Amino acid sequence: MGLREVKKYLGLEKLKLVVFSPNMEKVSAKGGLDEILDELIGLAREKNIPFVFALTRRELGNAINKAVPVSCVGVFSYQSAEVIPTLLKIPLHLLQNINVSGVLQTLDGTD
């Protein structure tokens, strides 16, 4: 799944959490990554879907068993919440309403 898909699923309110890598490449041209990222963050805020910046692209890819760098991950289901603090290195009490085991879809931003 790419950035366009995360936008679609944010709009449909299907995602429970979006994890962005803070070291995405800057592309400030019209329609570039900066604009897309701003749009995704705005949509997440509008739909009250939490998002977090955590891990480098390579670390985020490794955390979900991908051999390639990953720009963001969309979480569709909150079962097995114990996975999230490990992935994000966030204390569990900050994620107390999250219950994540389901499907983590990678959003590598390559489309």
Q: Provide the CATH number for the domain around residue 92.
A: 3.30.1330.30
Q: Is 101 exposed, middle or buried (0-12, 13-18, 19+ CB in 10 A)?
A: middle
Looking at per-residue pLDDT, the higher value among 57 and 79 belongs to 57
CB atoms under 10 Å from CB of 109, counted, come to 22
What is the domain extent for residue 35? 3-107
Helix or strand (DSSP H, E) at 33: helix 33-46
78 contacts 98 by C-beta, under 8 angstroms: yes
Q: Looking at residues 22-34, what average pLDDT do you find?
A: 78
What's the number of domains the chain is made of? 1
pLDDT at 1: 55
Kindly report the average pLDDT of the chain as a whole number. 74
Question: In percent, how much of the chain has pLDDT > 90?
Answer: 20
Q: Which of 20-29, 39-48, 73-82 has the lowest mean pLDDT?
A: 73-82
Place of tokens 């299907």: 14
Give this prediction's pTM.
0.66
Burial 27-44 (b: 16+ CB within 10 A, else e): eeeeeebeebbeebeebb
Q: Which of 40-54, 70-84, 91-105 has the lowest mean pLDDT?
A: 91-105
pLDDT at 88: 60
